[in-house]
Amino acid sequence: MDDFRDHINNLREDFTKGTLNEDGVNKDPALQFELWLQQAVESKINEVQAVHLSSVSLDGKPSSRIVYLREFQNNNYLFYTNYNSKKAQQLFKNPNAAFTFFWPDLERQVRMEGIVVKASAAQSDSYFNQRPYESKIGAWASEQSHLLASREELEKKVEELKKQYTPETIKRPECWGGLILKVNYYEFWQGRKSRLHDRICYELKAGSWKISRLAP
């Protein structure tokens, strides 16, 4: 075990795949993110849409998990969840949240901060109707973040719901839908040699984006 700990302690990676400069980024951070996301897709990075979501409870306890980015436009980033889940309940009470995308193959990271709001019922319905039947059943079956007595309890509920709902009749449960992170802060991180990374941030001030460089 000591050898393993030493191995972790001595892991080193130098970053050499790119640079990032204030003059080279788009003045609109949403367009800069879209460019980087497109490049990540073109690089065939697995789970490119996976994003680390952080929320905070009213008593100041942070909580983090991976969700999937599903839609984005004009600094609005949408993901879907059960509204009774831990993350949704935290966000309804304290809407401050943060996203972190990490694409190690490109030696890049994007951080976002903002306020979460609930998506419209029509928007949630539209996405739900596109989902595979099994995923729709899953949305009904899972009381996300709540205790289960066993795996069998969940599987039994799935089978019961399949008898109740057909692919033609199943509708979105009211407790499931979209949440939107409305971003007011971005940070684009490009790995550089010797840990002297490039960090360019955008802050929304008086309706305009201010671009700055941060120390690595």
Give the whole-angstrom CA distance, residue 43 versus residue 23: 24
Residue 216's pLDDT is: 96
At residue 8, does pLDDT exceed 80?
A: no
Give pLDDT tens digits for 121-155: 999 999 999 999 999 999 999 999 999 999 999 99
At residue 81, does pLDDT exceed 80?
A: yes
At residue 193, does pLDDT exceed 90?
A: yes
At residue 161, does pLDDT exceed 80?
A: yes
At residue 13, does pLDDT exceed 80?
A: no
CA Rg value for the chain: 20
Neighbouring residues of 131: CB distance < 8 A, sequence distance ≥ 6: 139
- Which amino acid, one-letter code, is at 111? R
Single pTM value for the model: 0.92
Residue 209's pLDDT is: 98
Q: Tokens in use for 48?
A: 């490119």
Q: For residue 136, what is the enclosing H or E element?
A: helix 133-141
Torsion-angle region of 134 (φ positive above 0: left; ψ -120 to 50: alpha; else: beta): alpha
CA atoms within 13 A on the CB side of 5: 2
Residue 10's pLDDT is: 78
Query: Which domains occur in the chain, in start order?
Result: 13-128+175-214 (2.30.110.10)
Average pLDDT score over the chain? 95
Active site (catalytic) residues: 195
> How many H helices and E strands in the chain?
6, 9
